[in-house]
Structure 1
């Protein structure tokens, strides 16, 4: 019998803006070696190291952080459908 479940976990997440600060913070790197200035913004697909390997992380995606410090990208539309901000007390 198939049952329906929902997640109740709380996560930390930050929206990726493509800044050098976030690139350094999350260890994001380009998908292949390129000389600076030879790749356009449309071609640049940053890769985020995750437990499953490198995953594409677009500007506007959310970088979630798990309880063990692991990171994974979540597309903005999926993030907004799945998570609600927790208000601090």
Structure 2
């Protein structure tokens, strides 16, 4: 049987703590936190949609659309941006075994 080693790949990730929804959404949309807050503040319609979205996430959890379908991210999971720009949740223990922070 052949053995394989995972190629070294640098990824971006944010850990979901149950309270950083805006940070997660900025990460997924590729915008700055300041810019995202300003767009919500300037657009009343968007503010109300954001308020509703926060309520839904609080009630039903954070769901991430992945290449394999929709997956629920639990508090503590990392949201990873994959090599092709896709997003998916990763359990903390798996993340910590697979990745190390770059400094």
TM-score bin (small chain): 0.5 to 0.7
> Could you report, residue by residue, the CA deviation over 1:33-80 in whole angstroms, capped at 9, with x for unpaired residues?
xxx69xxx7x84432111111011001100001243210111001111
5+ unaligned residues in a row in structure 2: which ranges?
30-54
| The structure with more helix, counted as a fraction of residues | 2
Q: How many residues align?
A: 76
Q: TM-score, normalised by structure 1?
A: 0.66
Match of 1:10 in 2: 10
Q: 1:24 to 1:11 in 2, by over 3 A?
A: closer
5+ unaligned residues in a row in structure 1: which ranges?
28-35
Per-residue deviation at 1:23?
Answer: 5.9
Rounded Cα–Cα distance in structure 1 between residues aligned with 2:6 and 2:83: 19
Structure 1's consecutive aligned runs of 4 or more residues displaced over 6 angstroms after TM superposition are: none
Rounded Cα–Cα distance in structure 1 between residues aligned with 2:95 and 2:84: 20
Match of 1:21 in 2: 22
Q: TM-score, normalised by structure 2?
A: 0.59
